Amino acid sequence: MLPGFTVEVLPEIDSTNTELMRRARAGQTDPVLLVAERQTAGRGRLGRTWSSGGDAVSTQALPPSLTFSLGLPLAPTDWSGLSLAVGLSAVESLHPALQLKWPNDVWLQDRKLAGILIETASVGEVRYAVIGVGINMVLPDGQGLRTPPAALCEVLPGIDAPATLGLVVAPLVRAIQRFVAEGFAPLRQAFHARDLLYGRELVCSDGVVGVARGVDAQGALLLHTDAGLKKITSAEVSVRLVPSANLP
């Protein structure tokens, strides 16, 4: 599917996304999967950190998390909805109980199990995309986290990081190639089936409150507010659930 594709597994790195972005800016735009057994400076959306586990869980039989970045040149007609397409591919590859929290998180029972971070760099006439994914393999210490954590072992007991990687990577490449060819619109119905937020009351970081009504054909969040239907893009705001809200 990806001529010239390589896989690298490193014992430790600051961030797989950061490393592939460094390489891209240095002119390396070949397709590559970079996997880290441990990240020391993992990053999430809006500058948040992503922990790949520390000494407290290093003695467990399973690694605390799976962190990898897929880097490849991309030229979609419209980039809108790419993070949703990536998340949808991941949950469909892993387990029916997993849901998607717009725009880039995988949740299990109202707890965060995985995160996605997409970055791009222009290298000459090439646009290079770096798609980073972090999945909790075992339950991390939730102290100090904004969101209660979940772990893949809760729904797939005994699964390890290599097996998880084997489940998600090939379907992810196919999903990205389909996204490039067709955009997000054909995935809208499948996303709706996994939509954690639909029908629930949300508050945006800009103070807007409303009830989620799914996503549009470009992947923008549709929010029913007192002022009418509002479209939210990931570039504008982040959203969080209003506590104890689960509206029809």
Which of these is catalytic: 45, 111, 178, 200? 45
Q: What is the SS3 assignment for 36?
A: strand
Which of these is catalytic: 43, 112, 188, 194? 112
User: Residue 5 — φ and ψ, nearest 5°?
Assistant: -65, 135
The 8-class DSSP code of residue 186 comes to G
Query: Residue 213 catalytic?
Result: no
Distance between CA 36 and CA 54 in Å, rounded? 13
Which of these is catalytic: 22, 48, 231, 240? 240
Query: Residue 45 catalytic?
Result: yes
Query: Residue 112 catalytic?
Result: yes
Query: Which helix (H) or strand (E) covers residue 144, if one does?
Result: none
Query: Which helix (H) or strand (E) covers residue 211, if one does?
Result: strand 209-215
Q: In what order do the strands lie in the sheet with 228-232?
A: 228-232, 221-225, 209-215, 201-204, 239-241
Q: Which residues are catalytic?
A: 45, 112, 240
